[in-house]
Amino acid sequence: MSVFDLLIDQDQVVGVLKDAVNASRDDKNKSQVMTHAWLFTGPPGSGRSNAAVAFAAALVCEKGGCGDCVNCRSALAGTHGDVELIKTEGLSIKIDEIRELITRAAWAPSVGEYRVVVIEDADRLTESAANALLKAIEEPGAHTVWLLCAPTATDVLPTIRSRVRSLVLRTPSIESVAKLLVKEGISGSMAEFAARAAGGHVGRARYLATNAEARSRRESILKLALSITDIASAFRSAGQLVDAAKAEAEEISEARDEEELKALKEAWGQTGSRLAQGGSKAVKELEKEQKSRATRMVRDYLDQALLDIVTLYRDVLLIQSGKTGDSVNLDLTKELERVAASTTSEETLKKIEAIMKARVNLAHNAAPLLTVEAMMVQLK
């Protein structure tokens, strides 16, 4: 077993990382193969964060990533003292968080030779946070390794890009994802469906395969898109989709937000409605973070919904091209054939472009309802 067994269809990347791990233990070759900063890029589901965490585990493992020792297990679980795993559930990573991280990254390793910092969403760094990180990468500590993850290299500052070693991961094949799910105890037919519906996204495929509610929600979204026949139905469908996104975000956040707020007030010595000095400011900061997290949840839900809708029109385009063997939504073949017969391939491509444009607009903080309405009108 190895920590790199977590990566699917990434043989070339795994080879590079293993060479780097071996070189990190050889003072003569270290400067040629091993470097202090890496950038992992790839589409969603390619496993870029898994690759970074596996690499971090291998660097702190005495055997180079055996996958069985305490160092490997704790690094993969995010509890190793020398591995910092930075995730964000909000819209951005701010400079204060990065400054604190840089301070901790400069500490000497407690167990192995390296202190490894993994930033899963480097594309969400604010400009000031990215500049602060740049300075740390330009003047690296002798035992600090930075592992950044982003969808593409252009999502990070050019000055950071020029100072890291880049690795590009690819989307795993549907067959490989299905095989992985079968190994985890999922039935063959369900594994095949989930892998196709997720487009090779391992985490999404696992979620669909094990969650009946998620499958039902996906089916509802697809049928919502297929129900659009005129402008009125387009606006109605857009409203339903955005309302569903907000409802899910609220459902997930409500209990968690209350628990966090209660714990914070207790930590600040709440007596009745009064808090210790500084407590009110801390509460306001927490509420701001919670609002940011809820906003991201809505956007993530809508982004995934739009990706599911894209698979519909991809299948329609395949039918219009006379190739149906690679369809994702086999259970909706009749409906898709009806749509394919009533439109042209040029119209289908325009609809796909409209969906992808809506995704870009949502990523740039456009109003969700207006964005989805504009997209739905073009799908009628």
pLDDT band at 210; cut points 50, 70, 90: very high
Contact of 343 with 229, CB cutoff 8 Å: no
The CA distance from 193 to 181, in Å, is 11
- The whole-number average pLDDT for the span 157-184 is 92
Q: What is the pLDDT of residue 28?
A: 61
Q: Provide the CATH number for the domain formed by 3-168 in this structure.
A: 3.40.50.300
Q: What is the pLDDT of residues 2-46, one digit of tens each?
A: 899 889 999 999 999 999 998 888 766 555 678 999 999 998 888
**Would the pLDDT of 330 be above 80?**
yes
Contact of 14 with 28, CB cutoff 8 Å: no
Which residue, chain included where needed, has tokens 């509610």? 213
Q: What is the pLDDT of residue 31?
A: 59
- The whole-number average pLDDT for the span 232-257 is 87
Please tell me the pTM assigned to this model. Answer: 0.81
pLDDT band at 169; cut points 50, 70, 90: very high
**Would the pLDDT of 194 be above 60?**
yes
- The whole-number average pLDDT for the span 327-349 is 90
- The whole-number average pLDDT for the span 184-199 is 91
Q: What is the pLDDT of residues 300-319, one digit of tens each?
A: 889 999 999 999 999 999 99
Which residue, chain included where needed, has tokens 């391992």? 202
The CA distance from 379 to 359, in Å, is 15
- 148 versus 260: the higher-pLDDT residue is 148
Residue 97: name the closest of 123, 126, 75 by CA. Answer: 126
The CA distance from 123 to 1, in Å, is 32
Burial track 29-61 (b if 16+ CB lie within 10 A, e otherwise)? eeeeebbbbbbbbbebbbbbbbbbbbbbbbbbb
Q: What is the pLDDT of residue 279?
A: 75
Residue 141: name the closest of 224, 84, 76, 77 by CA. Answer: 84
Q: What is the pLDDT of residue 72?
A: 93
State what percent of residues in the chain have pLDDT above 70: 97
pLDDT band at 252; cut points 50, 70, 90: confident
- The whole-number average pLDDT for the span 185-211 is 90
The CA distance from 110 to 364, in Å, is 41
User: SS3 for 313?
Assistant: helix
User: SS3 for 35?
Assistant: coil
Q: What is the pLDDT of residue 27?
A: 64
What is the identity of the amino acid at 174?
Answer: I
State what percent of residues in the chain have pLDDT above 90: 56
Domain edges within the chain: 3-168, 174-210, 231-379
- The whole-number average pLDDT for the span 213-233 is 91
Q: How open is the CA angle 5-149-107, to the nearest 5 degrees?
A: 95
**Would the pLDDT of 271 be above 80?**
no
Beta carbons within 8 Å of 64's beta carbon, 6+ residues apart:
18, 21, 22, 25, 58
**Would the pLDDT of 123 be above 80?**
yes
- The kind and range of the H/E element at 259 are helix 231-267
**Would the pLDDT of 214 be above 80?**
yes
- The whole-number average pLDDT for the span 341-351 is 93
Q: What is the pLDDT of residues 53-101, one digit of tens each?
A: 999 999 999 898 898 999 999 999 999 999 999 988 777 888 988 999 9
The CA distance from 152 to 365, in Å, is 19
Q: What is the pLDDT of residue 91?
A: 75
The CA distance from 8 to 22, in Å, is 21
